[in-house]
């Protein structure tokens, strides 16, 4: 699923990911993201219907939410500090924002498109970039792969952490222990987390 038509079809029903009920997810994402965006100008890539715009990003000075789906953007909320537009994240101008955020969206890009996106990020990022995504291989990411990509594009990683939503009691402890065992596959402990969060600083690269 990558094209505008694909996502428009998915958004045929409102809130297809049931984000309105994902309060634990909101709190987990906000713990990392909210302090970074407070009183800042933010470009939110893959904003969907604007759920995170209205919750996690609400204390930003200004938010520009962009999504490939016209259907999703048509449902975005009217907020005093936000505007929404239809666009593809690999074509959007990243310049002029304090923070560029990509929450659960970059992995929809093909491998070639990901390379284009990170190359564009290296050229255009003027502030902080926040990436949050599942780290479990497959069509998603691995920690090693992301770090290698950052290094290849000379993107300076300044912070990384697991973001745990406590979906199943006790699994956070198992994941923390598993992550330290040399014989455990990299993707295994990450499956117990909601996301991993990576923060890139582009303020001193241009």
The DSSP H or E segment spanning 56 is none
Q: What is the pLDDT of residues 21-65, one digit of tens each?
A: 888 889 989 999 999 999 999 999 999 999 999 999 999 999 999
Q: What are the tens digits of pLDDT across the range 165-185?
A: 655 545 444 554 444 445 444
Four-way CATH pick for 4-201: 3.30.230.10, 3.40.50.150, 3.30.465.10, 3.30.750.24: 3.40.50.150
pLDDT at position 189 over 70:
no
E strand map for the chain: 41-45, 62-67, 82-86, 99-103, 128-133, 156-163, 195-201
Residue with tokens 């406590």: 166
Res. 116: pLDDT tops 80? yes
HSE, side-chain direction, 13 A CA sphere, residue 112 = 1
How many residues would you count in the chain? 206
> Does residue 203 register a pLDDT over 50?
yes
Flag whether pLDDT at 98 surpasses 90: yes
Please indicate whether residue 19 or residue 101 has the higher confidence score (pLDDT).
101
Q: pLDDT averaged over the chain? A: 87
Question: What is the rounded distance in angstroms from the CA atom of residue 174 to the CA atom of residue 185?
Answer: 14
pTM of the predicted protein model: 0.86
Other Cβ atoms within 10 Å of 168 Cβ, number: 9
Name all contacts of 168-176 with Cβ < 8 Å and 24+ positions apart. 168/192
Number of alpha helices (DSSP H) and beta strands (DSSP E) in the chain: 8, 7
Among 48-52, 85-89, 145-149, 188-192, where is mean pLDDT lowest?
Answer: 188-192
Q: What is the mean pLDDT of residues 97-123?
A: 95
Residue ranges of domains in the chain? 4-201
Q: Name the more confident of 100 and 17.
A: 100
Among 1, 21, 18, residue whose Cα is nearest residue 9: 1
DSSP 134: -
- Which residue's structure tokens are 């997810």? 25
- Give me the pLDDT at residue 30, please: 95
């Amino acid at each position: 699923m990558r094209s505008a038509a694909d996502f428009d079809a998915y958004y045929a029903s409102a809130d297809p990911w049931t984000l309105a009920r994902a309060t634990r997810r909101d709190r987990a994402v906000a713990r990392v993201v909210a302090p970074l965006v407070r009183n800042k100008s933010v470009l939110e890539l893959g904003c969907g219907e604007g759920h995170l715009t209205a919750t996690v990003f609400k204390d930003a000075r200004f938010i520009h939410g962009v999504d490939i789906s016209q259907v999703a953007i048509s449902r975005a909320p009217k907020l005093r500090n936000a505007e929404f537009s239809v666009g593809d994240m690999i074509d959007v101008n990243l310049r002029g924002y304090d923070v560029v955020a990509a929450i659960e969206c970059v992995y929809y890009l093909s491998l070639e498109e990901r390379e284009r996106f990170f190359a564009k990020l290296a050229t255009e990022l003027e502030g902080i970039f926040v990436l949050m995504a599942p780290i479990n291989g497959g069509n998603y990411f691995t920690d090693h792969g992301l770090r290698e990509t950052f290094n290849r594009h000379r993107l300076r990683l300044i912070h990384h952490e697991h973001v745990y939503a406590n979906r199943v009691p006790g699994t956070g402890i198992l994941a923390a222990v598993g992550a330290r065992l040399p014989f455990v596959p990299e993707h295994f402990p990450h499956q117990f987390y909601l996301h991993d969060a990576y923060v890139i600083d582009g303020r001193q690269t241009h």
